[in-house]
Amino acid sequence: MTVRTRKAPPRATAMLESLRGLGYSPQTAIADIVDNSISAGGQNVHVDFKWNGTGSFVSILDDGRGMSDAELEGAMRLGERNPLAGRHVQDLGRFGMGLKTASLSQCRRLTVASVQDGITSCLRWDLDELAATNSGEWLLFEDPAPGSEHLLAPLEGIEHGTLVIWEILDRVVTPQYTVDDFNDLIDRVESHMAMVFHRLLHGPNQRLRLYLNGRPVTPWDPFMSGHPAKPWTSPVARHSTDSGTIQVQCHVLPHRDRLSNAEFEANAGPAGWTAQQGFYIYRNERLLVAGGWLGLGSPRSWNREEVYRLARIRVDIPNTADADWKLDVRKSIARPPVSLRTWLTSLAENTRERARRVFAYRGSPAAVTGRQPVEQAWKVERLKSGLRYRIDPSHPSVAAVLASAGTSTPLVKAMLRVIEETVPVQRIWLDTAENHETPQTGFEGEPTTAVIEVASVLFNDLIERRQMSIEEARTSILRTEPFQKYPALVARLGKDQ
């Protein structure tokens, strides 16, 4: 029996216009082009934004191996490569779509010129000219558009490399768009590239040098590797799968109290501390997903919450695992396979709890000297009806007042109970959520004289009432919240006595 078929090719203009809506941002689109440069062996990539109103353009130049005319034609064809086909282990592509879909999501004219062995080839997709033909055919235009020949000048005199040019930036330079908006966009692109390519831009085996308008891009490390105040980094955990080995390393970042203002701002990331918590998925050291909990969690999926903002988890997957992780065309969404969800959830639970403790104790969960725990002024009671916060009567400052209160003891206890029952929990929660920062405590921002004044009162009480020696009193103060954060000041206590 003869199978009856019909050819139903898509109309070029309609298909290309539809593909423009895949959801790229300018920064993710440029990152996709840089991926191609890296896969082509490029070690130096120059991204340039040129402002000229509606005549503005963007160019990306690399020093990779370049392409012959036939190779360039294949690269400009949509769906040239089967995503299921095998590829080089260091290849950052998958669908054979990124160059075209990423570029045309931002512009109406994409010109690609490539040099191999000193021979230059140039092709372009031009949506306006394509629409003008009204043929519905998939027509690639040769050479740059009339009037744009000068844009190929960066290729003069080189033996190999590729230049990608975006013109007619209708998705970027919209009505009322200004040069200030353009400069803001450049800053966003720089932040994104610093994050996405940070492992390629840094280290003894640096694989990439990336320049934006002539300035080198400084990598942004989400894990603050090597910072002396970082409380915890796990060993690398490995899990073998049919598509390769998955590697995971968990990190808890320092509390703000342990960072300078400049360090705190620099390490927040493009989206801020709370948004940047969670999993970081890498393929060949290129960041795909920056934060979020991948739909994991028990009994329900975790959300980004302030108390877990110090938790960041690095996950390395091989490029053979793209299908298992359901990687999308834009390389911005990944979903872990069912076989790994329990393992990843367990690692994340441990990391989240560690991060929560660092956040709750403002980076100081342990005493400065010895291994005895810090005596905290507040304790948590877990009741069937919920949590309650109580003032600990054994805290040295509270104990000193109760011991000296005499007939006023009931009045002091009543005052403490009133304080316990009126903790402004909802207000604290709301202010923290709105300001993305916890209220100041522990003498934060106070002069050293204020710390010494309060510590001296407690120090003198320990010596006079409890008959401690000077050294014993200092040791006790160092185990008392919040003075464990001020060992140098505590060491001065008793020096003038």
> pLDDT at position 374, please?
79
Spatial CB neighbours of 77, under 8 Å, sequence gap ≥ 6: 96
Predicted confidence band of residue 284 (pLDDT cuts 50, 70, 90): very high
387: helix, strand or coil: strand
Same domain, yes or no: 301 and 413: no
- Note whether 152 and 164 are within 8 A (CB): no
User: At residue 282, does pLDDT exceed 60?
Assistant: yes
Spatial CB neighbours of 64, under 8 Å, sequence gap ≥ 6: 37, 40, 41, 42, 160, 161, 162
Distance CA 218, CA 319 (A): 26
Q: Is 204 inside a domain boundary? A: yes
Distance CA 56, CA 72 (A): 25
> pLDDT at position 364, please?
53
Question: Residue 60: phi, psi to the nearest 5?
Answer: -130, 115
Predicted confidence band of residue 190 (pLDDT cuts 50, 70, 90): very high
288, two tokens: 């795909």
Q: Is 157 inside a domain boundary? A: yes
- For 57-111, the pLDDT digits (tens) are 999 999 999 999 999 999 999 876 544 444 454 444 443 578 999 999 999 999 9
Last residue of a domain, one of 302, 330, 360: 360
- Note whether 251 and 226 are within 8 A (CB): no
Alpha-helical regions (H) of 127-221: 127-133, 179-196, 198-201
Distance CA 490, CA 467 (A): 18
What CATH number does the domain containing 290 carry? 3.30.230
Last residue of a domain, one of 216, 242, 260: 216
- Note whether 210 and 217 are within 8 A (CB): yes
Q: Is 370 inside a domain boundary? A: no
Give which of 415, 385, 400, 389 is closest to 460, Cα–Cα: 400
The region of weakest confidence among 5-9, 231-235, 380-384 is 380-384
Q: Is 3 inside a domain boundary? A: no
Distance CA 459, CA 408 (A): 23
User: At residue 369, does pLDDT exceed 80?
Assistant: no
Predicted confidence band of residue 345 (pLDDT cuts 50, 70, 90): very high
Give which of 306, 293, 312, 196 is closest to 253, Cα–Cα: 312
Measured in Å, how far apart are the chain's first and last C-alpha atoms?
108
Across 442-460, average pLDDT:
86
> pLDDT at position 16, please?
93
The region of weakest confidence among 129-143, 273-287, 379-393 is 379-393
Residue 45, CB-side half-sphere exposure with 13 Å CA sphere: 27
> pLDDT at position 496, please?
61
For the ranges 275-284, 401-410, 427-436, 467-476, the maximum mean pLDDT occurs at 275-284
Distance CA 338, CA 241 (A): 12
Distance CA 358, CA 310 (A): 8
Q: Is 224 inside a domain boundary? A: no
Same domain, yes or no: 259 and 202: no
Distance CA 62, CA 414 (A): 73
Q: How many CB atoms lie within 10 A of CB 261?
A: 8
Same domain, yes or no: 63 and 153: yes
- Note whether 57 and 285 are within 8 A (CB): no
- Note whether 316 and 247 are within 8 A (CB): yes
Distance CA 293, CA 277 (A): 8
Across 260-280, average pLDDT:
93
Across 251-260, average pLDDT:
92
- For 306-316, the pLDDT digits (tens) are 899 999 999 99
Distance CA 27, CA 41 (A): 21
What CATH number does the domain containing 44 carry? 3.30.565.10
Residue 405 structural domain? 378-492
- Note whether 196 and 35 are within 8 A (CB): no
- For 134-171, the pLDDT digits (tens) are 888 999 999 999 999 999 999 999 999 999 999 999 99
Same domain, yes or no: 241 and 352: yes
Same domain, yes or no: 46 and 83: yes
User: At residue 355, does pLDDT exceed 60?
Assistant: yes
Q: Is 178 inside a domain boundary? A: yes
Same domain, yes or no: 387 and 242: no
- 407-to-161, 349, 395, 403, 457 alpha-carbon distances in Å: 87, 49, 21, 11, 22
Spatial CB neighbours of 474, under 8 Å, sequence gap ≥ 6: 459, 490, 491, 493, 494
The total number of structural domains that make up the chain: 3
332, two tokens: 């911005």
Prediction pTM value: 0.78
234, two tokens: 């796990």
Give which of 338, 329, 224, 321 is closest to 281, Cα–Cα: 321
User: At residue 367, does pLDDT exceed 50?
Assistant: no
> pLDDT at position 365, please?
46
Same domain, yes or no: 169 and 275: no
Residue type (1 letter), 495: K
Classify burial at 445, counting beta carbons within 10 Å of its beta carbon; exposed 0-12, middle 13-18, buried 19 or more: exposed
Same domain, yes or no: 249 and 311: yes
Same domain, yes or no: 353 and 424: no
Same domain, yes or no: 346 and 385: no
189, two tokens: 């692109």
Same domain, yes or no: 262 and 313: yes
The region of weakest confidence among 117-126, 197-206, 254-263, 354-363 is 354-363
Q: How many CB atoms lie within 10 A of CB 177?
A: 16
Residue type (1 letter), 336: P
Distance CA 447, CA 457 (A): 17
User: At residue 115, does pLDDT exceed 70?
Assistant: yes
- Chain-wide mean pLDDT for the chain? 89
